Every structure is written in structure tokens, then in C-alpha cells.
Amino acid sequence: MPDAEDVRRIALSLPDTTEKIAWSMPTFRVAGKMFATLPEAETSIAVRCPKEERDELVLAEPEKFWVAGHEAGFAWVRARLAALEDDDELHAILADSWRQAAPPRLVDAHPELGLPSAD
């Protein structure tokens, strides 16, 4: 089960990522744009997720994903760290959020972080 240190390690391994404390919690940013936070005593993560996709995600895996009330109007979703399978799943979630926040030139420069393959 991934924990807050795994979040930090994986997030900071993504290109041009920095950590900054905001709202009394760790946040992770690419080129200055936030793509992940560690709220709730660092037992969950909040990541970018298009609104049209997040409702399906929450319905499909409510034990893993939810939308915090104050984030309902924004394109963010929460994931419980204890519900994630492993570091690979955490990496996929963080990389997807990173791609949504990163400038196109940075995404283009890192094709290894490209869109997940459709299996």
C-alpha cells in the first residue's frame, strides 16, 4: 500500500516538479501549476481529473475515489492511498494529473509519460 512518502517520491520524480506547502499541506506543482496535494493527514491524494471522467471513476470505484465537497466545482478527485494497489497505480494516477497540468512543451519532451495505452 503506497503512503505519503511514496507520493512525494513519485511526484518529485516527474519532470520539473516541485513541492510547496499551501493551505497547511504538501502540494506538488509542474511549471508552477498544482497537480497533486496530500490532504487528510496524508492518507489520501487530490489530483486533477476532468469533471466528465471523475464521476464515472467515483461510481466505478467508490472505495478508492471520491470528490471532496469544496472541490466539486473543480476538476479534481481524491484517492485513498490505502485503497491503491501499488506504486505502479499511484505513479499512473500522478503522471496523468501531471500531464494535465504540464505545459505542452514539457509533455512533448517526455513521451514516456504520454497517454496510457488502451488495453
How many domains does the chain divide into? 1
Has residue 64 been placed in a domain? yes
Neighbours of 43 (CB within 10 A): 12
Has residue 27 been placed in a domain? yes
Has residue 116 been placed in a domain? no
> CATH number for the domain including 9?
3.90.1150.30
Angle, helix 4-13 to helix 87-101, in steps of 10 degrees: 50
Q: Where in the sequence is the domain holding 43, given as residue range(s)?
A: 4-108
Phi and psi, residue 12, nearest 5°: -70, -15
pLDDT band at 114 (very low <50, low <70, confident <90, very high): low
Has residue 117 been placed in a domain? no
Has residue 114 been placed in a domain? no
Task: Render pLDDT for 44-71 as a digit per residue (tens, 0 to 9).
Answer: 999 999 998 999 999 999 999 999 999 8
Has residue 74 been placed in a domain? yes
d(CA 3, CA 115): 25
DSSP H stretches of helix in the chain: 4-13, 51-60, 87-101, 104-109
Residue 112 has pLDDT above 90, yes or no: no
Has residue 23 been placed in a domain? yes
| pLDDT (mean) for 72-84 | 96
pLDDT band at 40 (very low <50, low <70, confident <90, very high): confident
| pLDDT (mean) for 73-77 | 95
Q: Please state the pTM of the whole predicted model.
A: 0.92
Helix (H, G, I), strand (E, B) or coil at 108: helix
Q: Which residue has the cell 516541485?
A: 18
Has residue 115 been placed in a domain? no
pLDDT band at 1 (very low <50, low <70, confident <90, very high): confident
